[in-house]
Amino acid sequence: MTTAADSDPEKLWLETPLVYSPHISARLGCSVYLKLEHLQPAQSFKSRGISYFILHARRRRGPDVHVVIASGGNAGLAAACASKALGLRCTVFLPMGVSASTVEFMKREGAEIVTVGKIYLDALKAAEKAVETDSNAIMVPAYDEPLLWEGHSSMIAELTRQLPNKGKPDAIFCSVGGAGLCGGVMLGCKSVGWDDVSVVALETTGSNCFYQSLALNPGVFSTGTTAEPTKGVRSAYCNKYDVTVAHLPTLTSRATSLGASSPASGSVRMALDRKGGIKSVCVDDELAMQAGLLFADEHKILAELACSTPLVPAYSRELFDKLVPPSASGDPRTVVFVVCGGFKISLAEFEQYRTIVESKVKGQTHWDVLCNGEQWKIAV
């Protein structure tokens, strides 16, 4: 089975490996597969949707189109890599504080770098102004765009070919920030007839705009009703998709790649309408750090904090069984974890994570985890 993006003859992303994890499978008592998106050209899943968007821009606007994007890192890298492959001019607007290694990677891919402001929104405003004054320029969105979702959906078409016996998983675990990846997973599942497959979307509590948006709309949370916005959170109605979305005033999570202040309205709509539903989960930064450390020890892969967030249930049988309950018949479960990738990680940061986690768990008996309006206490 294929999707429109998956069958594009000019696609720039790689068909990434799907590998069986004997470590996680043994711990969880099921068949666990890892979709290794960190092997994409820009080292994250963003290579899919962003390169697909830029490919369409070149087709519509010609070889003189000027690619402009605002980014904190990974989206800019994906735009730079795709633009280089297509021979297009690319300008990346960054806020201050982006690591030197990330900037150097973009420059090696031929991107022009403009550093402006202290936060992403400052870079975004500057990028939008630049597009207004350049008739050849086109703004590449970070996550709120159907073409991005189409590009990301290609990984689901790949799964239909890669899973043993071309089977169907019981669940797919992914991270969620602005919900571009999650939108792609849901769209891909719909395209290949997997609308009943459970999608588990995980984010950190300091950047949980998707979770809070679902809470503002009936249909997903256990209460079946809407909730009042968390204190300080602004809600806004989107007429195009008939949904209410949350706008966070500040982002306190260290998982900066999940740092969207509001999610893609279209992805929220897909989650509300999805036949198989969605499980929206929030975990502490420290729990995601712990998962990243354990994953690195077992699989020898460094995962950015945003990437280790969906791996949290891989290291807690208690949490995993709540999210994907064993069947009454005892049939074995098969699940996929999207290792979504990211360039913004280093050994030095991992050592910081280790210290933070060790300090956090001292004397602690449980973690607080949110799922679809419920609060669970998961043993440390």
DSSP 246-294: EE-S----S-GGG--SS--HHHHHHHHH-TT-EEEEEE-HHHHHHHHHH
- Per-residue burial over 162-177, b if 16 or more Cβ lie within 10 Å, else e, is bbeeeeebbbbbbbbb
Nearest to 273 by CA among 212, 324, 218, 225: 218
Res 259 pLDDT > 90? no
Q: Other C-beta atoms within 10 Å of 353: how many?
A: 22
- Region 58-67 average pLDDT: 96
Q: Specify the 3-state DSSP secondary structure of 84.
A: helix
Nearest to 367 by CA among 298, 306, 287, 290: 287
- Region 327-355 average pLDDT: 91
Q: Which two tokens stand for residue 212?
A: 């809070």
**What's the pLDDT tens digit per position in 180-227?**
999 999 999 999 999 999 999 999 998 999 999 999 999 888 655 555
Domains delineated in the chain? 18-44+146-379 (3.40.50.1100), 46-139 (3.40.50.1100)
Under a CB-based contact definition with an 8 Å cutoff, are residues 49 and 151 in contact?
yes
Q: Which helix (H) or strand (E) holds 372?
A: none
Average model confidence (pLDDT) across the chain:
93
Q: Specify the 3-state DSSP secondary structure of 74.
A: helix
Residue type, 377: K
> What pTM did the predictor assign?
0.94
